[in-house]
Amino acid sequence: MTMNKIKDSNYHKFIGKWRTSGEVRVGAKKLPLVGVDSYEFILNDNCILHKADVHIGGEHSETFEMITMLPGDKVKMQYANSRGESGLMTGNLINNMFTIEGDGIKFNGQMNNDYSVLVGHWYLLSENGDWEQFITLKLEKY
């Protein structure tokens, strides 16, 4: 079975290094988020390796994520981080709108027209079934 290479998809727009900024809501507090995200083709252009190296407040956090194509225009995003968490999400980039869905978590973001800035929000599903925004994020390619 031949899969479409991720290099030939819309997701090539992520390739490069990005300055990451934003804030994370922890209870009533808002902590600053700063760092670097990078995206690179790996494994014969079949996958993208996403690395996030950020500080949230005073805490350092690293995440590695493997992004692979699914049928259609969706991607599978398998991640693990320095806190020992791991999981699986699906993503979709249509026009300039980027969405991610996982188990009790989602992201809605938008890229600018030259794909150099991504602005969005992460949401967690609360116990009462409402989506609550907990991260505001801005990535700027450099």
pLDDT in tens, 90-101: 999 998 999 999
- Segment 23-34 shows an average pLDDT of 95
- Segment 117-131 shows an average pLDDT of 96
- Segment 19-37 shows an average pLDDT of 96
What does pTM read for this prediction?
0.93
Q: List the one residue out of 20, 18, 23 whose CA is nearest residue 57.
A: 23
By CB atoms closer than 10 A (0-12, 13-18, 19+), residue 91 is buried
pLDDT of 140 above 80: yes
Predicted confidence band of residue 121 (pLDDT cuts 50, 70, 90): very high
| CB-based contact 98:118 (threshold 8 Å) | yes
Superfamily of domain 6-141: Calycin beta-barrel core domain (2.40.128.20)
